[in-house]
Structure 1
Amino acid sequence: MMQKFLKSFGYAFSGLAYAFKTQFNFKFHITAMFTIGIAGWCLNLAANEWRWLIAASGLVLIAELFNTAIEVLVDLVSPSYHEKAKAVKDVAAAAVLLAAVTAIAIGLLIFIPKLLHHVA
């Protein structure tokens, strides 16, 4: 039982590695997350602000991983073009877009007042 549980972590890390190696957008979101982390550290964010940024970043990465999984599955079951396969991929991509826009809005709400305070 424990061995099976530990193997599941290996599968999960394999999935992360696959997404990182094959998906430009996943790499972009990871880079953005680290950049936001550095900016947050430099601006000495409060614990509550960190919670929001971590949740927003997690939401985007999770959406990107689901999008990747859906794209791989659609390519497997529908290797040639099909209008419904396109719709599935487009809807999955839209979910990532909405997650990213939400994360940007959260980031702006946190960072703009901090930056304006530093400029003033």
Structure 2
Amino acid sequence: MPNQFRTPGYHPLRKLKVILSGLYVAVVTDFSVAYKVILSVPILGISFFFRQWIDVSIILLAMAIMLISELFNSAIEVLCDFVEPQQNDRIRVTKDIAAAAAGLSILVWAAILAIETIRLWQFP
């Protein structure tokens, strides 16, 4: 199947490999992504164990939003550093805005994780 450049070679499994490679690089090289995954997975597992499906859905949604914004933030920072290795006020503003978006999603994620942890702690 031709891609956007009209050359053959698109395959869904190859796309999945690229996605998993990007996630692996983000988790292994970026501590800010890794520790959030490490904190989310146990709470998600406990919710799944107690069959609290709405809680599982809420945690998954919060985790996905947080990871997406964190991945975009990391990608923007890497791109900005590549385009302008020197200090630049415009680049700084761009990085600050990306960090603010990631920060807001982290606040929502942390609040949801705290609420769900308290709810699960009181479940039995």
Q: Which TM class, normalised by the smaller chain length?
A: 0.7 to 0.9
| Matching of residues 33-112 of structure 1 within 5 Å | 33-41=40-48, 44-112=50-118
For 2:15, the aligned partner's letter is S
Q: Distance in 1 between matches of 2:70 and 2:83?
A: 20
For 1:38, the aligned partner's letter is G
For 1:14, the aligned partner's letter is S
| Displacement after TM superposition at 1:16 (Å) | 1.2
Query: What is the TM-score of this pair, normalised by structure 2?
Result: 0.81
| One of 8, 15, 38 as aligned partner of 2:15 | 8
Q: Distance in 1 between matches of 2:63 and 2:118?
A: 18
Give the CA RMSD over aligned residues.
2.0
Q: Distance in 2 between matches of 1:117 and 1:19?
A: 34
Query: What is the match of residue 28 of structure 1?
Result: 35
Structure 1 portions without partners, runs of 5+: none
Instruction: Compare relative contact order (CA 8 Å, sep 6+) and give the higher one, 1 or 2.
Output: 1
For 1:10, the aligned partner's letter is K
Residue identity (%): 28
Query: What is the TM-score of this pair, normalised by structure 1?
Result: 0.83
Q: 1:23 to 1:76 in 2, by over 3 A?
A: same
For 1:32, the aligned partner's letter is L
Q: Distance in 1 between matches of 2:84 and 2:40?
A: 33
| Displacement after TM superposition at 1:41 (Å) | 4.1
Contact 2:48 2:56 in 1 (8 A): no
Counting matched residue pairs gives 117
